Amino acid sequence: MGGTARYEAHLKPISGSTVQAADKNRRRPEGSAHESSADKPLFETLRVKTTCLSDAHWRFSIRFLLLNDTSPEIHLEDIHAKVYRKYIPSPPLLTIGYRGEVVLQEDNTIAKEEKSYSLAPGDGYEIDLILELTRIEGSPVYGTDRERPGPILAVLGLLVDYYYLLPDGSVKRRTVPSDSLYFFECLDRKSGQRSTLRFVDNDLLKELEADRYTTDTAKAIASSIRHLVEEHRAYDPTPKA
């Protein structure tokens, strides 16, 4: 068991995610003469919240709207996070393999509950997805990974896997990405309180591109955010059955 797997094996499952029908004023009117030509469902981030659980452990709540603005009924299969960039500076120790790393946990209600989540055309869900991120340092060679406070930058996005039936009865699987990325930052070396997860909008893009970081790695991550957002929005894999 290598990498962070030995550490992850001791983590307790998290909970708290919710799925509920979207408010009627967010849906397309029933019987509407307008037939949607949208290629994918609409993903709209509504709220992002950060709770510091310890100086190296944070809980994220991402509330978003998923609206089926396509023509067929869709069936949700999975929600998962994709980490695009991370920066965890650690002391230059002589221990073999010593490094900083992040562990991201997710409470995926859709995947773990034995029930169907389907959306007719025009209907939507408001989903509150709970994630927990832990900053660790250590050497996987010696199994010394443990929580340690310190600076961290991370860029992540959400992906929703779904499927629908084609006229011939076959199944078409697709993925819709979140409407943008989420940027997590903690610059304090001793405390995790001064940290936050933020939705990447134009204001944050300008802030990150203002060259406020001092290390080359952090600068590279900040300067690449705009490209990462474009890459994420265009991400279109075919989920496995």
For residue 230, what pLDDT is reported?
Answer: 96
Rounded distance, CA 89 to CA 122, Å?
Answer: 46
**pLDDT tens-digit readout, 201-233:** 999 999 988 877 878 888 999 999 999 999 999
- In the chain, what is the straight-line distance between the N-terminal and C-terminal CA atoms, in Å? 27
Using DSSP's 3-state secondary structure scheme, residue 43 falls into strand
pLDDT at position 213 is 84
Can you give the pLDDT at residue 167?
Answer: 92
For the chain, the average pLDDT equals 86
Please give the pLDDT value at position 145: 84
pLDDT at 139: 80
Q: What is the pLDDT of residue 209?
A: 86
State the 10-residue block means of pLDDT for the chain, 241 residues long: 65 89 68 56 96 94 96 94 91 68 86 82 96 89 81 95 94 96 88 88 91 84 94 91 74
116 burial via Cβ count (<10 Å: 0-12, 13-18, 19+): exposed
pTM of this structure: 0.88
**Cα separation, 120 vs 30, whole angstroms:** 11
Ramachandran class of 85: left when φ > 0, alpha when ψ lies in -120 to 50, beta otherwise: beta
Domain boundaries along the sequence of the chain? 5-233
| Pick from 162, 171, 164, 153: nearest CA to 218 | 153
